[in-house]
Amino acid sequence: MTAVVTGGASGIGREVATRLRGAGHDVVVWDLSGADIICDVSDPDAVSAAMEQTVREHGVPTRIVTCVGIGVSGMLLEQPVAEWERVLAVNLTGTWLTIRAGAQAMVDAGAGGSIVAVSSISGTVADREMGAYCVSKAGVDMLVKVAAVEWGSFGIRVNAVGPGVTRTPMFVDGERLPGWVDALSERTALGGVGEATDVAGAIVGVLELPWVTGQVVHADGGLALHSPIDAYGQMQRVMARKK
């Protein structure tokens, strides 16, 4: 079975590609470098060409995982428009272009399939200074729901997996902030910080779930279950002060 993994040259995507290869899939990695096919997923022509090459050389992919993602920090009042547009173009439009090309190939071949778009808990939880990223991932969460509704009759399932903080090259800047990892670990129900292999396991699991479509599954160890502030503790302290 042919599988496409975008962003598969690094981090979570690389782990997904490894797992799928281990399960016997013919995996085609799309990325900006170090990939089977070099493709900027925000470029519609590049995505069409990458899908044509994939089908020609490997057959129609019936498994697609979109792992491409970029993050740029910036407050909404200050963020340059070009930065905002780039994040939306790569994370949201790039995901749409990729899954659309894949679904079209499946429909043309009369084949069903399964798609997982990698989102983020940031699609649900509002992060200060991460507006463009949060909005792009919230868009991915809705994209999979609409795609699931439109493509279900073709036998195509479409879901999203939203990682929490995960140790990958994307994570290294945060890891340098003093106390950040400890604070995150404390707020994570399962404790610690996710590894790429944890998230890849969830993605491959969701990819093969029958009768599940249009869902967003958080692979975050329970991080998003908590409010960013200790709201309950804060309320207790206010009540204690009032006594």
Placement of tokens 């990958």 in the chain: 168
Nearer to ligand NAD, 105 or 184 (CB): 184
Counting contacts by CB under 6 A, is residue 180 touching ligand NAD?
no
* Backbone CA torsion sign across 226, 216, 182, 190: positive
Q: Which is nearer to ligand NAD, 86 or 109 (CB)?
A: 86
Q: Smallest Cα–Cα separation from 28: which of 49, 8, 56?
A: 8
In SS3 terms, 163-194 reads as ECCEECHHHHHHHCCCCHHHHHHHHCCCCCCE
Site for ligand NAD contains 159 (CB under 6 A): no
**By CB under 6 A, which span of 124-132, 151-159, 167-175, 209-217 interacts with ligand NAD?**
167-175
* 13 in contact with ligand NAD (CB under 6 A): yes
Please report whether residue 101 would count as binding ligand NAD according to CB under 6 A. no
Q: Is residue 120 at the binding interface for ligand NAD, with CB under 6 A as the rule?
A: yes
Q: Which stretch binds ligand NAD (CB under 6 A): 10-18, 52-60, 104-112, 235-243?
A: 10-18
Side-chain-side CA neighbours of residue 47 (13 Å):
24
Q: From the CB of 93, what's the least distance to ligand NAD, in Å?
A: 10
Whichever of 109 and 142 has its CB closer to ligand NAD, that residue is 142
| Contact with ligand NAD (CB under 6 A) among 5, 90, 105, 224 | 90
Query: Residue ranges of the alpha helices (H) in the chain?
Result: 11-22, 44-58, 81-87, 94-109, 131-151, 172-175, 180-187, 196-207, 231-242
Taking the C-alpha atoms of residue 63 and residue 49, their distance in angstroms, rounded to an integer, is: 18
Q: How far is the CB of 78 from ligand NAD (least distance, A)?
A: 22
* 30, 84, 133, 151: the active-site residue: 133
CB 67 within 8 A of CB 11: yes
> Looking at the annotation, which residues are catalytic?
133
